[in-house]
């Protein structure tokens, strides 16, 4: 009888351990979602500035077929190409900026799908979230036609079939497996966003660089003011990259938890998401200081 009770006890422990190993950590996943939102919010001011710089760059170097006319400090086009609308409009984003925002939205939507799985919602709700994710991927694909945006094309090609299959999944386990298969392309996407920071920096500093090296080359106070603008933008882009790097680590930790929730993977996820929250707040405060400190166009010598 004791032997039977012993076997029964071991079976109960085994069942409990198995349940712990397959139960997804709802609270930890929600924390990642909050950390992502904070990081995306901290990145927004820099991307707003990128949109402005990108539009100004388009005015300085219009396509050959554009008939530009300049008088004093005003440049206008005497013909209009609908394909250039994103760069000339006062709403929406030009291509580079749009690619960054859409790329971040894809990552956020993927985190949202993982959160849905962790909370154990029904498969139809999870599929609805996947449709939202697919819409974000499609919007990003529409931008991947040239320049910085083209870098994400391989990621989209890898992710598309996985999302199509996930939308047709017959049960929750199949859906979970397919979602996890899509984690690598999303990780690659974050990596490509990081790599594109070189192009972002070039666009952002183009105007103050021209001013410092050409327009104000003989006016030392004005030249210094432009160089301070460049220094501030350098800090802003560096902070953006650090946020993306931490987001990448946090996303990887989240995938590991969803794949195999253990105390080790949970601890790693908690540490990563907390660090992302802290860095997002630091980046937000640093950007505010950089833009408000007296100096060149509100920018002074400030280090992160």
pLDDT tens track for 100-128: 999 999 999 999 998 888 888 888 888 99
The structure tokens listed for 117 are 């799985």
Long-range contacts of 224-232 (CB under 8 A, 24+ apart): 224/296, 225/295, 225/296, 225/297, 226/296, 227/296, 228/295, 228/296, 228/299, 228/300, 228/301, 229/205, 229/296, 229/297, 229/299, 230/205, 231/299, 231/301, 232/290, 232/291, 232/296, 232/299, 232/302
pLDDT tens track for 35-75: 999 999 999 999 999 999 998 887 776 666 667 788 877 77
d(CA 179, CA 265): 18
**Contacts of residue 186, Cβ cutoff 8 Å, sequence gap at least 6:** 106, 107, 110, 155, 159, 251
- Res 284 pLDDT > 50: yes
pLDDT tens track for 212-271: 999 999 999 999 999 999 999 999 999 999 999 999 999 999 999 888 888 898 899 999
pTM over 0.75: yes
Average pLDDT value for the chain: 83
Percent of the chain, pLDDT > 70? Answer: 83
pLDDT tens track for 139-166: 888 887 655 556 788 888 899 999 999 9
Spatial contact of 41 and 280, defined as CB atoms under 8 Å apart: yes
**Contacts of residue 66, Cβ cutoff 8 Å, sequence gap at least 6:** 77, 79, 81, 84
């Amino acid at each position: 009888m004791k032997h039977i009770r012993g076997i029964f006890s071991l079976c109960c422990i085994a069942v409990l351990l198995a349940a712990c190993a397959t139960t997804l950590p709802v609270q930890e996943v929600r924390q990642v979602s909050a950390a992502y939102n904070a990081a995306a919010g901290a990145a927004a001011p820099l991307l707003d500035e990128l949109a402005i710089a990108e539009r100004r760059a388009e005015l300085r170097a219009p396509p050959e077929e554009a008939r530009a006319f300049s008088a004093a400090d005003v440049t206008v086009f005497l013909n209009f190409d609908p394909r250039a609308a994103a760069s000339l409009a006062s709403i929406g984003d030009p291509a580079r900026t749009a690619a960054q925002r859409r790329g971040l939205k894809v990552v956020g939507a993927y985190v949202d799908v993982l959160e849905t799985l962790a909370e154990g919602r029904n498969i139809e709700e999870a599929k609805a979230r996947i449709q939202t994710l697919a819409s974000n991927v499609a919007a990003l694909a529409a931008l991947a036609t040239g320049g910085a945006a083209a870098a994400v094309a391989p990621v989209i090609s890898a992710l598309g079939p996985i999302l199509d299959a996930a939308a047709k999944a017959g049960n929750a386990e199949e859906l979970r497996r397919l979602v996890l298969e899509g984690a690598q392309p999303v990780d690659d996407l974050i990596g490509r966003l990081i790599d594109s920071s070189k192009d972002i920096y070039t666009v952002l500093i183009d105007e103050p660089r021209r001013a410092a090296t050409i327009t104000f080359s003989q006016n030392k106070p004005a030249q210094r003011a432009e160089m301070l603008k460049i220094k501030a933008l350098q800090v802003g882009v560096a902070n953006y990259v650090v946020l993306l790097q931490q987001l990448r680590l946090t996303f990887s930790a989240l995938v590991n938890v969803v794949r195999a929730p253990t105390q080790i993977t949970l601890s790693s996820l908690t540490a990563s998401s907390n660090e992302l929250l802290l860095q997002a707040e630091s980046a937000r405060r640093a950007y505010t200081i950089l833009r408000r400190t007296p100096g060149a166009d509100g920018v002074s010598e400030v280090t992160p």
